[in-house]
C-alpha cells in the first residue's frame, strides 16, 4: 500500500513539474523577441536540427555568393597559366601552391600581381577579390562559368569600348574601370549581417560579416537565442506539436506578403538611405521581419539625391529604368514587384514563385511555376485554367503567362532577364516608353525592330534585342537574325552587347564560344566574324552597309553606371 502511494506521489509530482515546465515553455513562446541585439551563429549550427533544409540550401548559389578563396572548390576559374589580352594589357592566371594569382603586364613590364583572397558568385560568372590593407577590391578579370573562360569585366557592364582599344593601348584606368571596393559596395547584399565598420575619422575599414555568402540567418534572422533555447527537449517537443511560431527565429512563410517581399528586396532591390554614414559605420540594421522602409527606400527613375546641386541630384538613376518607370537592370526585382497589381492589389510576393529550398538553383523557381501556368491560372485567374480558354486569351497555342506579362527586358550579369513588373502588354504605350513589348520580342521583323532598335537603340535596347534574336520561340526568320547578330558582333560599340549577340548566334548554330572574343579590337572581330560566317551552312540575310551606318549614327551611348 505504501509503495503504491509513493509511486502515485512520484507520478503526480512528475506530472505537476512537467505541467509547470510546459506552461513555462508556452509562456516563453508567447513572449515576442527583438532580434536586433541577438548574435549570429552561422549556418553550420542549423544543420544539426534542420539537416534537410540545410542540404537544400547548400545546393543554392546563395551559399556560394561569397567564399574564401582558400576553401576547397571555391575558385572555379582555370588558374592554369592561361591569359587574357585586352587593350595591350595581358593578365595571366596562375596557381602557386595554395595561392591563386593574377599578374598583369604591358609590353613585358609588370603592372601588378595580386592574390585572390575571396570569390563572389558561382552561377553565371565568378568575380575575384584581392585584399590590400583594410579593403578588398574587385579585380578586372572574371570567370565566365558557362563559357569556361576568363573575361574582362568591361564585357560584363554596359559600357562602351575605351579609347585606345583599336590601337591596342587602353589606359590603365580603363583596364581598372570596374575595380570596386568590396567593403562599402558588394558587402551589403552578398553576406550575412554586413558591417563595413568605416571609421569616419581615419576612413579605414574594420569590415565584418556574420557569414560569407547568403546563409540561413540572412532570411531567418540571428539564431543565437533560437539555438540556446531549443537545447531544451521539452521546448522542442512543445514546438513540434504546436502551430505557434517560435519567436526566437523568423519563419519567412509566416510573414505577411509585404514583409516577405522586404526580406528579398533588401538585396534584390537597389535602395537609398538618408543616413549613409550610419550604414557605413555600423552596417544595415535590417533584420528579417522588419519593414524595409524603416531604413531605406527603393531607387526609382525619379529618385533625387540629397546632396549636390539640383542638376547633380536629379535624374541620376533615370537610365536604369524604361520611360514608363519599369526597371531595366537586374537588382531591381523588388521595384518591379511593387509596381505589379498582383502585389499592390493582391497578395503576390516573391516566395509565391521562388522557393529558397525548392526547385532548380538557377532561379529557384517552384516546380509549379517552372513547369506551367498554375501559379497564375490556378491562384487568381481561374478562368484561364482551361487550356482552350488560355490559348484564346493569349491568341497563341504555346505561350505561357510570363511570356507576355513578364517579358525579357532586363539586363544584368551578362544576360537579359524577365521583368518582374507583371503587367499587360501595350505595344503602343511600351513603344512610347522605349521598351520592347512582348509581341516585338518574338516578332523582331515588325517595324524592323531587329535593326532599328537592335542597332540604332540605346545600350539596353540593343542588349534586349540581341538576346531576343537567339531565342527558339522567335518568329523572325533565322537568316535575318543571323545577319543582324553578326553585324552587331562586328560593330556595336559595347562589348557586353557584342557578347550577347555572339551567344545568340551560338544558340542558332552550335559553335565553340572561343571562336569570338567580344573585347577584341574591331579588326580582330571582323576576321573572327568572317571565319564564323564560313562555318554557318545556311542563308544569312545581312543588312546593307548603308542601312547599318545610318542606324549606328542614331545609336546612343547612355551612362548607366551600373548593369553588370
pLDDT score for 92 = 98
- Provide mean pLDDT across the span 172-187: 95
**Could you tell me if 273 and 297 are in contact, meaning their C-beta atoms sit under 8 angstroms apart?**
yes
* Residue 26 pLDDT exceeds 70: yes
Give the residue from 148, 129, 131 showing the smallest Cα distance to 139: 129
pLDDT score for 545 = 94
The pLDDT-based confidence of 317 (bands split at 50, 70, 90) is very high
Give the residue from 153, 143, 151, 144 showing the smallest Cα distance to 176: 153
Tens-digit pLDDT profile for residues 206-248? 999 999 999 999 999 999 999 999 999 999 988 988 888 999 9
CA dist., res. 232 & res. 213, Å (int): 30
* Residue 43 pLDDT exceeds 60: yes
**Could you tell me if 225 and 38 are in contact, meaning their C-beta atoms sit under 8 angstroms apart?**
yes
Tens-digit pLDDT profile for residues 88-121? 999 999 999 999 999 999 999 999 999 999 999 9
pLDDT score for 387 = 82
* Residue 446 pLDDT exceeds 70: yes
pLDDT score for 359 = 80
- Provide mean pLDDT across the span 154-181: 95
CA angle at residue 144 from 139 to 149, to 5 degrees? 95
CA dist., res. 193 & res. 136, Å (int): 17
Residues belonging to the chain: 564
pLDDT score for 374 = 79
Tens-digit pLDDT profile for residues 259-280? 999 999 999 999 999 899 999 9
Give φ, ψ of 503 to 5 degrees: -65, -35
The pLDDT-based confidence of 4 (bands split at 50, 70, 90) is low
Cell readout for 109 is 613590364
* Residue 54 pLDDT exceeds 80: yes
The pLDDT-based confidence of 303 (bands split at 50, 70, 90) is very high
* Residue 171 pLDDT exceeds 80: yes
CA dist., res. 52 & res. 48, Å (int): 10
pLDDT score for 379 = 74
pLDDT score for 208 = 97
Average pLDDT over the chain, rounded to whole?
Answer: 92
Give φ, ψ of 327 to 5 degrees: -60, 145
CA dist., res. 284 & res. 36, Å (int): 11
- Provide mean pLDDT across the span 441-458: 92
Tens-digit pLDDT profile for residues 118-139? 999 999 999 999 999 999 999 9
pLDDT score for 558 = 76
- Provide mean pLDDT across the span 504-531: 97
Handedness of CA 495, 500, 506, 512 (dihedral sign): positive
**Could you tell me if 45 and 223 are in contact, meaning their C-beta atoms sit under 8 angstroms apart?**
yes
**Could you tell me if 277 and 200 are in contact, meaning their C-beta atoms sit under 8 angstroms apart?**
yes
Amino acid at each position: 500500500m505504501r509503495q503504491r502511494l509513493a509511486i502515485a506521489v512520484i507520478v503526480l509530482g512528475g506530472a505537476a513539474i512537467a505541467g509547470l515546465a510546459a506552461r513555462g515553455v508556452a509562456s516563453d513562446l508567447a513572449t515576442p523577441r527583438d532580434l536586433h541585439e541577438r548574435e549570429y551563429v552561422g549556418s553550420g549550427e542549423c544543420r544539426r536540427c534542420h539537416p534537410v533544409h540545410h542540404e537544400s540550401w547548400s545546393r543554392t548559389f546563395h551559399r556560394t555568393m561569397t567564399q574564401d578563396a582558400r576553401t576547397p572548390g571555391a575558385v572555379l576559374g582555370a588558374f592554369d597559366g592561361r591569359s587574357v589580352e585586352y587593350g595591350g594589357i595581358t593578365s595571366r592566371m596562375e596557381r602557386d601552391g595554395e595561392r591563386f594569382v593574377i599578374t598583369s603586364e604591358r609590353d613585358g613590364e609588370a603592372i601588378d600581381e595580386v592574390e585572390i583572397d575571396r570569390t563572389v558568385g558561382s552561377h553565371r560568372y565568378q568575380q575575384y577579390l584581392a585584399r590590400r590593407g583594410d579593403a578588398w577590391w574587385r579585380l578586372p578579370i572574371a570567370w565566365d562559368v558557362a563559357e569556361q573562360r576568363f573575361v574582362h569585366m568591361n564585357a560584363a557592364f554596359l559600357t562602351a569600348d575605351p579609347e585606345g582599344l583599336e590601337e591596342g593601348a587602353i589606359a590603365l584606368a580603363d583596364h581598372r574601370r570596374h575595380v570596386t571596393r568590396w567593403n562599402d559596395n558588394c558587402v551589403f547584399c552578398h553576406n550575412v549581417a554586413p558591417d563595413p565598420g568605416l571609421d569616419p575619422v581615419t576612413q579605414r575599414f574594420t569590415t565584418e560579416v556574420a557569414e560569407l555568402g547568403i546563409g540561413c540567418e540572412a532570411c531567418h534572422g540571428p539564431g543565437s537565442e533560437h539555438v540556446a533555447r531549443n537545447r531544451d527537449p521539452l521546448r522542442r517537443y512543445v514546438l513540434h506539436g504546436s502551430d505557434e511560431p517560435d519567436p526566437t527565429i523568423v519563419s519567412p512563410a509566416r510573414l505577411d506578403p509585404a514583409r516577405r517581399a522586404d526580406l528579398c528586396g533588401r538585396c534584390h532591390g537597389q535602395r537609398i538611405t538618408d543616413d549613409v554614414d550610419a550604414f557605413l559605420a555600423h552596417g544595415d540594421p535590417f533584420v528579417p521581419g522588419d519593414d524595409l522602409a524603416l531604413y531605406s527606400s527603393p531607387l526609382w527613375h525619379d529618385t533625387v539625391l540629397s546632396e549636390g546641386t539640383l542638376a547633380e541630384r536629379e535624374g541620376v538613376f533615370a537610365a536604369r529604368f524604361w520611360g514608363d518607370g519599369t526597371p531595366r537592370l537586374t537588382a531591381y526585382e523588388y521595384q518591379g514587384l511593387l509596381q505589379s497589381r498582383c502585389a499592390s492589389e493582391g497578395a503576390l510576393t516573391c516566395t509565391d514563385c521562388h522557393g529558397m529550398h525548392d526547385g532548380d538553383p538557377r532561379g529557384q523557381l517552384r516546380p509549379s511555376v517552372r513547369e506551367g501556368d498554375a501559379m497564375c491560372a490556378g491562384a487568381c485567374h481561374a478562368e484561364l485554367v482551361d487550356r482552350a480558354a488560355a490559348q484564346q486569351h493569349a491568341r497563341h497555342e504555346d505561350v505561357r503567362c510570363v511570356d507576355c506579362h513578364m517579358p525579357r527586358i532586363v539586363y544584368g550579369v551578362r544576360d537579359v532577364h524577365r521583368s518582374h513588373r507583371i503587367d499587360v502588354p501595350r505595344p503602343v504605350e511600351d513603344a512610347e516608353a522605349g521598351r520592347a513589348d512582348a509581341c516585338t520580342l518574338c516578332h523582331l521583323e515588325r517595324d524592323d525592330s531587329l535593326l532599328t532598335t537592335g542597332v540604332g537603340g540605346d545600350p539596353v535596347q540593343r542588349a534586349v534585342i540581341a538576346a531576343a534574336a537567339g531565342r527558339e520561340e522567335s518568329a523572325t526568320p533565322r537568316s535575318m537574325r543571323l545577319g543582324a547578330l553578326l553585324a552587331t558582333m562586328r560593330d556595336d560599340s559595347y562589348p557586353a552587347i557584342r557578347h550577347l549577340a555572339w551567344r545568340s548566334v551560338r544558340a542558332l548554330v552550335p559553335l565553340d564560344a572561343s571562336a569570338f572574343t567580344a573585347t577584341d579590337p574591331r579588326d580582330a572581330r571582323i576576321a573572327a566574324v568572317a571565319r564564323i560566317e564560313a562555318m554557318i551552312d545556311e542563308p544569312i540575310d545581312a543588312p546593307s552597309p548603308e542601312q547599318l551606318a545610318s542606324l549606328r549614327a542614331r545609336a546612343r551611348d547612355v551612362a548607366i553606371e551600373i548593369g553588370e
